[in-house]
């Protein structure tokens, strides 16, 4: 879909359906349609439409024997409407256009849109237009996608960046939605390599032999039960000239998580193609960075593996030596993500970045704690964690900080024949998983762990999300990297 800026008065575009974004109990933006404003306002009153956020109403009006279609989209209270309200309004508008089978439309959200509003609306329009239908032989009528939206007074640079953000998220969504018979560690590595080639990024892929030679027995152990061996992916964005800072993004890349020998029951195994969401978010971010070109060096790091039960699978009781030298005792083969991340975080630490952010669909416990729409945030540096939380409030990616200072909980990880054991009981499961990861982050590196088990994949569409993969994490990480670039 195209999003373009235009600046014509309503009279010159009246053949195209028009969406008008209004505030709650402030319909000032209706002024754009001149004489129609009063009629529309009367209908809104009659229909009891208030302009609350996440609401939309369609109003067909007859004049001179032609029907003009208006859509009024609510932004909520004017003083509370932030960028995420604009983003959601854009998405809700497009979703409705799709449903009404309208291919092209205009949108009005104010006379002069600033950079951030233009970006948010463009992003919302593009995300709302997304659906995963590549395997449907007969394209569902409902899924006709919108071809073009003209945004009145849109700020070009905002629209451009909004598109790049949306593309990064859509790239991640498309990858996550692919099933395990299509995306496995080998094909994921190939996709990373192709992406790097197309966008001028560096990319190193380590095969199962090199993985073992590097001492990554943790990643190797998790992957060795599968007919498709693991791969380690290192993709790099380097700006021209001296970078202002260096950051590593680590993504959990389980292309499928059956649980391994501690096999999951059917209900819990279903959707476990999404266990690569962190990895796919990293790739989506790398793609966007290649186009945004910030003055920041960014390393994308993924341990890709498939967790399967077989004669060659790793077992409960196994003791594994990780790349860091620390040993892990396996209590449960279904707590595999943290094992692969042990090697990935150690490798990332060796690059000596200032910051590491890891994204992982790590624990069901995090979903129990926070619900399925909020990611758990864990950090060894409160200032860094708080900065990400602040950014996430603007991006609309809900995150909530969970504690890392519980010494009694931490002790449970040490009750082992090895240096550390991979589970520590049911209570505080998201926290003990994060504490496990922290063991593999080198001293002095500022680290945030995002447990995205809930928001990475949805049962139902809403706002700018469609059913299935969300691309969660892409937006906030990109904003964070841009904030380093801008020095804000
Ligand atoms: N990939 C799962 C976590 C998960 C669960 C992600 C639900 C998304 C939705 C992870 O590998 C896992 O299986 N975790 C176990 C850990 C347990 C064995 C300590 C869990 O959460 O049950
Ligand atoms: Mg598991
Ligand atoms: Zn998993």
CATH number for position 441 = 3.40.630.10
Cβ atoms 287, 319 nearer than 8 A? no
Can 264 be counted among the known catalytic residues? yes
Q: Residue 363 Cα, ligand 3 centroid: separation in angstroms? A: 7
- What pLDDT is attached to residue 63? 84
CATH number at residue 59: 3.40.220.10
Nearest ligand, measured from the Cα of 254 = 3
Residue 454 has pLDDT above 60, yes or no: yes
Residues enclosing ligand 1, CB less than 6 A? 257, 275, 332, 334-337, 361-365, 423, 429, 453
- pLDDT band of 142, cuts 50, 70, 90: low
Which of 129, 154, 179 terminates a domain? The answer is 154
| CB proximity list for 222: less than 8 A, separation 6 or greater | 230, 254, 260, 305, 307, 314, 333, 336, 339, 340
pLDDT of residue 244: 98
Q: For residue 121, what pLDDT is reported? A: 98
Domain span holding position 148: 2-154
pLDDT score recorded for residue 143:
58
Q: How far is CA 443 from CA 262, 321, 351, 414, 440, in A?
A: 33, 20, 13, 19, 9
Closest atom, ligand 1, to C-alpha of 361? 6
pLDDT of residue 64: 83
219 within a domain of the structure (yes/no): yes
78 is catalytic: no
Task: Say if residue 256 is in the same domain as residue 358.
Answer: yes
List the structure tokens of 418: 């090895």
Q: Tell me, yes or no, whether 172 and 150 share the same domain.
A: no
**Model confidence over 190-212: pLDDT tens digits?**
999 999 999 999 999 999 999 99
Among candidate residues 234, 381, 403, the one with its CA nearest the CA of residue 304: 234
Count of C-beta atoms within a 10 Å radius of residue 26: 14
- Report the pLDDT value the prediction gives residue 139, as an integer from 0 to 100: 67
Q: Mutual orientation of helices 156-177 and 277-292 as an angle, nearest 10°?
A: 150
Q: Within a domain: residue 241?
A: yes
Atom of ligand 1 nearest to the CA of 429: 19
Q: What is the mean pLDDT of residues 222-226?
A: 98
Give residue 304 CA to ligand 2 midpoint distance, Å.
14
Choice between 488 and 122, residue whose per-residue pLDDT is larger: 122
**Does residue 265 belong to any structural domain of this protein?**
yes
- Pair (148, 177) in one structural domain: no
The answer to pTM > 0.95 is: yes
Mean pLDDT along residues 80-89:
97
Q: Is 48 among the domain residues? A: yes
Is 220 part of any domain? yes
Is 159 a domain residue? Answer: no
Domain contains 396: yes
Among 130-139, 174-183, 264-273, 307-316, the range scoring the smallest mean pLDDT is 130-139
Task: Let me know whether 142 and 171 are in one domain.
Answer: no
What is the pLDDT at residue 140? 62
- Per the structure, the count of domains in the chain is 2
Is residue 231 located within the same domain as residue 141? no
- Flag whether 99 is in a domain: yes
Q: For 384-419, how does the pLDDT look when each residue is reduced to its tens digit (9 = 90+)?
A: 999 999 999 999 999 999 999 999 999 999 999 999
List pLDDT tens digits, range 38-55. 999 999 999 999 999 999
Mutation to probe ligand 1, out of 280, 305, 334 (largest number of atoms < 8 A from CB)? 334
Domain boundary among 105, 128, 154: 154
Average pLDDT in the 328-348 region?
99
Please tell me whether residues 113 and 187 are part of one structural domain: no
- CA distances to 110, 223, 433 from 217, rounded to whole Å, are 57, 10, 19
| Residues in CB range of 142: below 8 A, 6 or more apart | 98, 99
Q: Are residues 136 and 216 located together in one domain of the fold?
A: no
Q: What is the pLDDT of residues 244-291, one digit of tens each?
A: 999 999 999 999 999 999 999 999 999 999 999 999 999 999 999 999
Q: What is the dihedral sign for C-alpha 4, 8, 11, 12?
A: negative
| 204 and 70 in a common domain | no
Task: Tell whether 48 and 116 lie within a shared domain.
Answer: yes
Point out the ligand 1 atom lying closest to the alpha carbon of residue 422: 19
Is 215 found in the same domain as 145? no
Same domain (yes/no): 127, 183 = no
d(CA 94, CA 108): 13
Q: Tell me the C-alpha distance between 328 and 428, whole Å.
A: 20
The residue from 154, 189, 223 where one domain ends is 154
Per annotation, catalytic residue among 264, 326, 401, 412:
264
Burial zone of 15 (CB within 10 Å; 0-12 exposed, 13-18 middle, 19+ buried):
exposed
Residues 147, 238 share a domain:
no
Kindly report the protein residue whose alpha carbon is nearest to atom 3 of ligand 1.
363
């Amino acid at each position: 879909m195209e999003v373009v800026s235009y600046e014509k008065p309503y009279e010159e575009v009246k053949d195209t359906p028009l969406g008008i974004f209004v505030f709650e109990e402030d319909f000032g933006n209706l002024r754009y349609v001149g004489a129609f404003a009063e009629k529309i306002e009367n209908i809104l009153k009659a229909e009891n439409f208030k302009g609350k956020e996440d609401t939309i109403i369609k109003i067909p009006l007859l004049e001179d024997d032609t029907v003009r279609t208006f859509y009024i989209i609510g932004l909520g209270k004017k003083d509370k409407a932030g960028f995420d309200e604009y983003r959601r309004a854009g998405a809700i508008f497009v979703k409705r256009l799709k449903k009404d089978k309208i291919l092209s439309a205009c949108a009005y959200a104010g006379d002069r849109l600033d950079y951030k509003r233009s970006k948010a609306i463009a992003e919302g329009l593009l995300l709302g237009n997304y659906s995963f239908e590549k395997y449907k032989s007969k394209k569902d009528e409902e899924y006709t996608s919108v071809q073009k939206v003209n945004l009145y007074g849109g700020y070009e640079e905002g629209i451009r960046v909004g598109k790049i953000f949306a593309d990064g998220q859509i790239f991640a969504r498309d990858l996550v939605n692919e099933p395990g018979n299509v995306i496995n560690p080998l094909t994921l590595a190939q996709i990373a390599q192709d992406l790097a080639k197309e966008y001028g990024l560096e990319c190193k892929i380590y095969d199962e032999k090199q993985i073992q030679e590097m001492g990554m027995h943790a990643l190797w152990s998790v992957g060795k039960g599968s007919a498709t061996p693991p791969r380690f992916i290192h993709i790099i964005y380097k700006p021209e000239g001296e970078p202002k800072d260096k950051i590593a993004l680590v993504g959990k890349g389980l292309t499928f998580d059956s649980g391994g020998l501690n096999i999951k029951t059917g209900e819990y195994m279903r959707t476990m193609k999404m266990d690569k969401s962190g990895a796919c978010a990293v790739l989506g971010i790398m793609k966007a960075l290649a186009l945004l070109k910030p003055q920041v060096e960014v390393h994308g790091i993924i341990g890709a593996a498939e967790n399967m039960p077989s004669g060659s699978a790793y077992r409960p009781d196994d003791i594994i030596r990780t790349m860091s030298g620390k040993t892990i005792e396996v209590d449960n083969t279904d707590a595999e993500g943290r094992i692969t991340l042990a090697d990935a975080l150690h490798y990332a630490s060796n690059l000596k970045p200032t910051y590491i952010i890891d994204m992982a669909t790590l624990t069901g416990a995090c979903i129990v704690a926070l619900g399925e729409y909020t990611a758990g945030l864990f950090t060894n540096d409160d200032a860094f964690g708080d900065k990400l939380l602040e950014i996430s409030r603007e991006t609309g990616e809900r995150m909530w900080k969970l504690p890392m200072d519980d010494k009694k909980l931490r002790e449970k990880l040490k009750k082992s024949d090895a240096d550390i054991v991979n589970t520590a009981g049911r209570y505080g499961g998201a926290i003990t998983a994060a504490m496990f990861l922290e063991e593999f982050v080198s001293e002095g590196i500022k680290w945030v762990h995002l447990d995205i088990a809930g928001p990475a994949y949805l049962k139902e569409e809403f706002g700018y999300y469609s059913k299935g993969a969300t691309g969660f994490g892409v937006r906030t990480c990109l904003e964070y990297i841009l904030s380093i670039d801008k020095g804000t």
